[in-house]
Chains A and B, each alone.
Chain A
Amino acid sequence: MTSNNLHVDALVVGGGIAGMQAALDLADQGYRVALVEKEASIGGKMIALSKVFPTLDCCSCITTPKMSAVAHHKNIQLLTYCKVQSINKNGSGFKADVVKKPRYVDETLCTGCRQCEYACPIDLPAAFDLNLGAHRAVRVPFSTAVPQYAVLDIQNCILCGKCETICPVDAIDFTQSPQEFEIEAETIVLASGYELTPTDAKKEYGGGQLPNVVNALVMERLLAPTGPYGHVLRPGDGKEPESIAYVQCAGSRDQSLGVEYCSRVCCMYAIKQAMLLSGALPLADITIYYMDIRTFGKGYEQFYQNAQAMGIEFVKGKVARITEDEDHNPIVRVELIDEGSPVVERTHDLVVLSVGMLPGYNPQTIFGVPVADDGFVTLPSPNISPCVTGQPGIFVTGTAAGPMDIVDSIVLAGSAASEAAAYLQAHRQPELVGDLRVTANEKKERVHA
């Protein structure tokens, strides 16, 4: 990005699956879109997942073409490693002040060959692999990153210059500094995504303390073909687990955590992972401890029944606590409700906490978009306008609006793109509605009614 002033029709904030879909839907209609992503690559959380439910399609196989489509679309200006600092009303549109963090790599030269990464002497916990594996201080974010450029983490660099010496195209550039620029857009789509309930939120479950109690996103990485170990191994000692348990509602539907809502995806991802584990470890016993199983979508109930037929054990009961034995095997204390409610302790090799979804970002300060008590964006008319925020011209999609799965995120992204396109049209030309000539402003008000 070299231009200091960028004029586009729509600014999409967030390069996860919802942001990418909204950007593509707008761009395909001929609108010019700027997609701003704070990380060094687009793809969001979806690109790190193993497979999607209920079809068990490979996540990477679905997401990578979309990432590529975004990067190569003539109407999309992709701005990675950038953050929106502030938004100001600019006539009928918006002016966004954006800062681009320095990669310390010249994007016009870098070919993503990773020679710098191999030359770098320091290993750091890899955020993409949720710290299970390592990456170097200078690295390509992950194998299918878009754009495929290296990024140098100056905060963990010893500045030895090895990367600069070995780079065949002289792309390492230690002189880079943050660059500020402006984007003028008529409409904004927020797709800022979600974060997980912290693994250590429920102290009684030992997440973050017990090495073999992990969250479901960790299991996604263990199951992914590009995962850190190349196999499903427990992080405590590399053992191939023979007994794996899931604890449902470990970060949602829980007043004590202040997360009272159902996160909607935990039941399905636990069932999906259990099925994948059955394939990866055919001899392993897999247990899901649950309060309710919520399989609300098309084909989801059948998916659940298939899992039962495969021999996955579903145990009704809320887990009280998790401890461990001297070999770091987690011990789950639970009441078996369907068996006369005895309280038992069961030992497993690995326990997965089905943690819930929290909003990833609060858009109140910068975008002036109000958020509800649960932290997700307030929707004035959630039933009939699920993408329209309280701020005219700003729309929301994906998990910034509330917990939802990939299917719903994509549906909502299409909806947000349609709303944004309608808003843009309403801005540009008066039109006839019945016998009344509706001005752009009147139509804008109607969209936000």
Chain B
Amino acid sequence: MSKEDAKKRTAILKRLREEHKDTVAGAQALLKEQKAIRRQICQAMRDAPKTVPEVAETTGLPANQVLWHITAMKKYDLAVETGMCGEYYLYQLVEEEKK
């Protein structure tokens, strides 16, 4: 990208941020919240594969919320299934699996 194109792009994004400042603020707040939750979930799964109820118990988050985040992490290749424990699947962080 040329310098001029980069300048144009920055100006467009700046104008759009101004135009959509309410929705951008809402999305930023959601992203911040998501990152905090993900940190907790990743921390809980760091040492060994865990089931959803185990992660929920460790983090204190509702089990359905944990499942939603782990589902999202699985979709975008950040977590994988590694078998079952009773009636629950075990999930592992991808970076842990690579070690």
Contacts and interface: CB of A to CB of B under 8 A. Distances in A.
Interface of A: 118, 121-123, 125, 132-137, 154-159, 161, 164, 174-175, 211, 228-231, 233, 235-240, 242
Given A159-B24, A175-B12, A238-B88, 11 more contacts: A123-B34, A123-B76, A132-B68, A132-B71, A134-B75, A158-B28, A159-B17, A161-B13, A229-B67, A237-B63, A240-B89
B9 A164 contact: yes
Contact of B13 (A156, A174, A237): A174
A122 B31 contact: yes
Mostly, the B contact residues are: helix
B89 A156 contact: no
A236 B88 contact: no
A235 B67 contact: yes
Contacts of A118: 76-77
B31 A159 contact: no
A154 B13 CA distance: 12
Given A132-B71, A134-B68, A238-B67, A158 B13 contact: no
Interface in B1-48: 9, 12-13, 16-17, 20, 23-24, 26-28, 30-31, 34
Given A134-B72, A156-B27, A235-B64, A240 B9 contact: no
Contacts of B26: 156
Contacts of A229: 67, 71
Contacts, number: 93
25 contacts: A122-B30, A122-B34, A123-B76, A132-B71, A133-B72, A134-B68, A137-B27, A154-B23, A156-B27, A159-B13, A159-B16, A159-B24, A174-B13, A229-B67, A230-B81, A233-B67, A235-B67, A236-B67, A237-B52, A237-B67, A238-B66, A238-B89, A240-B84, A240-B88, A242-B87
B51 interface: yes
A125 B19 CA distance: 24
B79 to A, nearest CB: 12
